Structure 1
Amino acid sequence: MIYIIGAGAIGQALAVLLQNTGKEVVLVKSRQVQETQRDFQAIHVHVSGQLSQAAVKVASLATISFESGLILVTAKSFANSTIAAKLRGANQPVILLQNGLNIEQPFIDQHIRQLYRCVLLVTAQFNADGTVRFKPVSACPVGLVQGEQGMLDELVGQLDNPWFRFRSEQNIQPLIWKKVIANCVFNSICPLLDIDNGIFYKNEFALRMARNVIHECLAVAERQGVALSAQEVEDSLLSISRMSDGQFISTLQDIRNHRPTEIATLNAEIVSLAGDLPVPYTKLLGELTALKSQLNLL
């Protein structure tokens, strides 16, 4: 059994693609499932020019009892304290498919024995008709946070499929930081410009803004013991920008739909870790995005 906690675009896409490879899947919604809702939800995913669909079993986080199997967390990271409390002391492996720094801490605090992080190199968004548009960028690396390293390849084998690819990674922290730095760019500049991810490979001025954020974040990463080059981070950012051209970053989707965002685990977390290091671009862009999010919640 594979439980997916979080029924957003990523969670729904993954649920369909796994179920259509023969896996038994339960999509666990963070919010209460209404009594009028059926036990199964029909989900349609557009991927690689094809329509993939499945009737996926759904449940509520508040009432579900997790049996043996694998638990994936695709919900927004601000829900992690609630999710971790529900999973307290779980024996099942838990894989976090989320953005941000230090998002694993609530699960460590709740004594999750087998904890992993996945760096998402895909994009997904809901279409106006409720279907999901999914675009892969590259195979998503999965690495150990705490527990038994020997299970990693087996878990990745359960998840990997022709549309949503996964791979094992022995040293996940540099890749987490590389993606976080890219997300500090995408999740602040794109919402503020109200534009899709393709802006950075199309517009030199936007790319110069991105380079300022990358430079600041790299200094913070180095202080945390993570060595990355500006070129490899920029190359990753441009690759994501090209491959997800036309897709809207999750923070912009959330703002448009009057939902809370994850900016606190991105730019704001970088600022918190920076200490006396100057990070004015990262700070200002993050604060403006947080303000825009707050105003759209009113």
Structure 2
Amino acid sequence: MKVAVMGAGAVGCYFGGMLARAGHHVTLVARPQHVEAIRDGGLRMETRQFDERVALQAGTDAAAARDADLVLFCVKSLDTEAAGRQLREVLRPGALVLCLQNGVDNADRLRTVLPDHEVAAAVVYVATEMAGPGHLKHHGRGELVVEPARGIETVVQALVASGVPTEVSPDVRSALWLKLVLNCAFNAVSAIAQKPYGFTVAGTGIPEVIRDVIDECLAVAKADGVTLAVDPHEAARKLVETMPTQSSSTAQDLARGKPTEIDFLNGYVVRRGEALGIATPANRVLWALVKLLERK
């Protein structure tokens, strides 16, 4: 396949890199410092299984996705519509756009600006970070859950053959909500403390805060007609066990002085709660504190 990764940060570099290692033609659309490093020496993938440099293409413009069969759409949630409009000018007919983003409504928002292309949502479970220009560090996991779409079976086969466990689920909305709940529980706390999950959950009162955040999210989800197939409290415990050294993407954004996705995580729950008449004080406090830290 010809694959383009739109917004090739840590998530995009991991999945794009895995496809490139398996022989697919992958082009990363990334920031200039990453593009320059990748062009000079390839993408360094430092994972739990291997540490090697992977050869692939890289560019800074959406035009690099012109001939792609598959676009891994990995931009921050606040950039969804703008990046989608850039793709609309260059994507060929028949290309599949797979959303690998935080939040629950990105695929729907992207469909409004790409009405003539197939767009599918995916739930991402991977712990990664960019340790430097062109240097990906993988801390754990690496699987995807995707929704049915035209051409998705071919993509799933390619991902699985590339070492990325992937399943198709007809109820991706429930899976997206579960991921949202976990992000709401951990991302802001990790960002405020600038510490990984294993450290934060040992803090005085933090387990109770996480419990309150999850309960509020469950109330909003129920009012919104969403039923979670997995107990998020148990999923939260397992997340800490499997990724104790991982800091949230929100923490990484704050550390780099970049805008976060908090408006699409705890902020989204606050807005939906207001619309549905559900109080969300714990989510509101975490959202407000991260917004305050963004102003620094």
- Please give the root-mean-square deviation of Cα atoms over the aligned residues, in Å: 2.5
Aligned to 2:171, the other structure's residue is in SS state: coil
- Distance between the aligned counterparts of 1:140 and 1:36, measured in 2? 29
- Distance between the aligned counterparts of 1:161 and 1:279, measured in 2? 42
**Mapped pair 1:208 → 2:212:** no
Residue 143 of structure 1 is matched in structure 2 by 147
Aligned to 1:160, the other structure's residue is in SS state: helix
- Distance between the aligned counterparts of 2:28 and 2:285, measured in 1? 37
- Distance between the aligned counterparts of 1:13 and 1:101, measured in 2? 21
Q: Which has the higher mean CA deviation after the structures are superposed, 1-10 or 128-137? A: 128-137
- Distance between the aligned counterparts of 1:95 and 1:116, measured in 2? 5
**Mapped pair 1:108 → 2:111:** yes
Q: Which has the higher mean CA deviation after the structures are superposed, 35-44 or 67-76? A: 35-44
Residue 48 of structure 1 is matched in structure 2 by 48
Q: Deviations over 1:200-246 (max 9, x none)?
A: 665573222111000001111111110127x7111222222221111
Residue 269 of structure 2 is matched in structure 1 by 270
Residue pairs, 1:166-245, within 5 angstroms: 166-199=166-199, 202=202, 205-228=205-228, 232-245=231-244
Q: Deviations over 1:101-148 (max 9, x none)?
A: 31223321121431111111111012368632113336321114xx54
With normalisation by structure 2, the TM-score equals: 0.88
**Mapped pair 1:98 → 2:101:** yes
Aligned to 1:121, which of 122, 125, 131?
125
Q: Gapped runs of 5+ residues in structure 1?
A: none
Structure whose residues are more often helix by fraction: 2
Q: Which has the higher mean CA deviation after the structures are superposed, 284-293 or 44-53? A: 44-53
Q: Which has the higher mean CA deviation after the structures are superposed, 45-54 or 247-256? A: 45-54
Residue 252 of structure 2 is matched in structure 1 by 253
Contact kept? 2:29, 2:61, Cα under 8 Å: yes
From the superposition, tell whether residues 132 and 37 of structure 1 become closer, same or farther in structure 2 (CA, over 3 Å): closer
Partner amino acid for 1:263?
I
Partner amino acid for 1:251?
T
**Mapped pair 1:283 → 2:287:** no
Q: What is the number of equivalent residue pairs in this alignment?
A: 289
Once the 2 structures are TM-superposed, how far is the Cα of residue 43 of structure 1 from its aligned partner? 1.3
